[in-house]
Amino acid sequence: MISWMQKHHKYMVWTIWVAAIGFIGAGSVGWGSLHFGSKATSVAKVGDIEISQQKLNQAYNDIYSRYAQLFKGNFDEKKAKELGLIQQAFATVEIQAKLLNFAKENGIIVTDEEVAQKIASIKAFYKDGVFDKNIYKTFLKNRHMKAKEFEENIKEEMIINKTLSLLDIKAQPLEIETVASSMNIADKITYKVLTTNDINVTIDDTKLKEFWQEHKDNYMTETVYELAIIWEEPKDINASDDELKSYYETNSFQFTDKNGKLLSFDEAKDSVKKALALKATKKSAQLDYIALKKGKISQPQTIKLSQNDTKLTPKVWEELSTKQNGDILKPKIVNNKYAVIKVVSIIKPKIKSFEEAKAEVSKVYIAQLKQELLKQKAENITKKLQDSNATTTDFVKIDSIDKFSELSKAESLHFLQNLFTSNQKAGTINLSGNKLIVYNINEQKIDKVDDNMTKKLTPIVHNLKIKLYQSNLIDILNTKYKTEVYMKGLTQ
């Protein structure tokens, strides 16, 4: 049966994605919105299309918001940097630009009438069941966009969707049958789970210091900003219900629940009051800014913050990163109040001493050492798996994720994916840097495919085929349209 798997290896990759779709979910490709800027503010050029700083910022903010929701608010710029969000954002807008290049070259267009119909269908711009131009204009004003720019963004998004829709090709019977057969392969295995928790290590300070010496550039102090901040708390206002309702109706799209659903006036009333109070505070903040800029305000109390400290917002830190000593930021909203911020001084990062970095270095060193010892232990057990208190299963398939009590569902799926795409009868499969499985396939079989499975797989294989076509198209476009990057740190 191993030989059968080798022969049909490329189709086995399909099987793995089918399983992933079935058990951890897979949505359609989301390309987001496009925002073109002038060449003077471009961060890169893809084919004939310039990528503006504004477009990159929008993509970054969209991704950041999704992660913030995923982490339930426990997310900041430091984690964003660790996860490479700026690189993710750039990869997104780069692909968008390549698709637009391709669409233009092949004459794929969207008419002004189609754009108008699309905008007219956006329910956030409706009032009493009718499209409201005032709500639309306020939406544009709050986002500092002109109608022409927004309409062009919608058009480009529609062009991308129209281009991708050309890849919507139905799955053929042979493709469905191949995937169904792959899904019905069953293995009886012997396996053992090993983790670094089973590995004990002792630290040699001499070796630890040598490790630090080799990697000391990775252990830097943070950039610290000494900032003078003038805070303006929201003003007390006595707004009537009519005033609140008027503001709500003009800005209703700003008031949504965590799922993005528009709130009713009664549900949003408290938030509307806060928004109006904050609006009334803006003038005071602007006067503070002018006075500070002219030197008419004595230096306010200063505070030292590490870069990206959550006391300020990601957008404020983004602007601060472009400033120098003595620069003053225009009033910013931070935690529902206005802040006027002056940069007093910037303390640049420096390499930490061994003692300063020792705790961090020790964690990395121990983790690396444990992983090396774990691999050695796995190699030794592979030779005598039957004698290592291993577990032998009944026949398992690609969807048997509930058959491994020692593993989470995600780990089980990862293990089965790799097991059924490997052409090795025995070996090891890494679940993470801290856990792996040693396995041996004792017996294999293929169960009969029934009509019920074929019906279930048909839409899944159809969607999978579209995704594979999209992936192949992107590979072609990567070769066809070259990217010229003007800014460091956008690619990995």
CA distances from 203 to 79, 365, 372, 434, 435 (A): 29, 9, 14, 18, 21
Question: Residue 98's pLDDT is what?
Answer: 95
Average pLDDT of the residues in 366-377: 90
Lowest mean pLDDT: which of 73-87, 329-343, 426-440? Answer: 73-87
Question: Residue 33's pLDDT is what?
Answer: 33
**Do the domain assignments include residue 20?**
yes
Asked if 2 and 444 count as a contact pair (C-beta separation under 8 A), the reply is yes
> CA 412 to CA 394: how far, in whole Å?
15
34 and 72 in a single domain? The answer is yes
Q: Which of 302, 318, 347 is the last residue of a domain?
A: 347
What mean pLDDT, rounded, does the chain reach?
Answer: 84
Q: Is 44 exposed, middle or buried (0-12, 13-18, 19+ CB in 10 A)?
A: buried
363 and 324 in a single domain? The answer is no
**Do the domain assignments include residue 115?**
no
**Do the domain assignments include residue 243?**
yes
CATH of the domain at 235: 3.10.50
372 and 478 in a single domain? The answer is no
**Do the domain assignments include residue 426?**
yes
Question: Residue 26's pLDDT is what?
Answer: 33
Q: Is 434 exposed, middle or buried (0-12, 13-18, 19+ CB in 10 A)?
A: middle
pLDDT tens digit string along 190-206? 999 999 988 888 888 89
Domain range for 397: 186-215+353-446
Question: Residue 6's pLDDT is what?
Answer: 42
State the pTM of this model: 0.48
Question: Residue 299's pLDDT is what?
Answer: 65
pLDDT surpassing 60 at residue 11:
no
471 and 382 in a single domain? The answer is no
**Do the domain assignments include residue 274?**
yes
Question: Residue 260's pLDDT is what?
Answer: 66
Average pLDDT of the residues in 113-126: 93
**Do the domain assignments include residue 413?**
yes
277 and 312 in a single domain? The answer is yes
Which of 123, 76, 126, 65 has the alpha carbon at shortest distance from 258? Answer: 65
pLDDT surpassing 60 at residue 287:
yes
> CA 16 to CA 182: how far, in whole Å?
9
Confidence of residue 457 (pLDDT cuts 50, 70, 90): confident
209 and 247 in a single domain? The answer is no
Q: State the total domains in the chain.
A: 3
337 and 440 in a single domain? The answer is no
Q: Which of 329, 347, 365 is the last residue of a domain?
A: 347
Structure-derived torsion over alpha carbons of residues 235, 240, 245, 247, reported in degrees to the nearest 10: -30
357 and 208 in a single domain? The answer is yes
pLDDT surpassing 60 at residue 394:
yes
Confidence of residue 269 (pLDDT cuts 50, 70, 90): confident
pLDDT surpassing 80 at residue 90:
yes
Give buried/exposed letters for 102-123 (b at 16+ CB in 10 A, else e): bbeeeebebeeeebeeeeeeee
Q: Is 19 exposed, middle or buried (0-12, 13-18, 19+ CB in 10 A)?
A: buried
Task: Supply φ then ψ for residue 137, to 5 degrees.
Answer: -65, -40
Question: Residue 24's pLDDT is what?
Answer: 35
Average pLDDT of the residues in 397-407: 89
Question: Residue 7's pLDDT is what?
Answer: 45
Confidence of residue 237 (pLDDT cuts 50, 70, 90): confident
Which of 454, 122, 98, 404 has the alpha carbon at shortest distance from 262? Answer: 122
Which of 178, 142, 150, 54 has the alpha carbon at shortest distance from 333? Answer: 142
293 and 364 in a single domain? The answer is no
> CA 89 to CA 93: how far, in whole Å?
6
Question: Residue 27's pLDDT is what?
Answer: 33
pLDDT surpassing 80 at residue 300:
no
333 and 366 in a single domain? The answer is no
230 and 343 in a single domain? The answer is yes
**Do the domain assignments include residue 392?**
yes
**Do the domain assignments include residue 124?**
no
Lowest mean pLDDT: which of 25-34, 83-92, 292-301, 403-412? Answer: 25-34
Q: Which of 347, 380, 398 is the last residue of a domain?
A: 347
25 and 73 in a single domain? The answer is yes
Angle at the Cα of 470 from the Cα atoms of 462 and 162, rounded to 5 degrees: 90
Which of 208, 157, 158, 173 has the alpha carbon at shortest distance from 367? Answer: 208
Token duo for residue 35: 């925002």
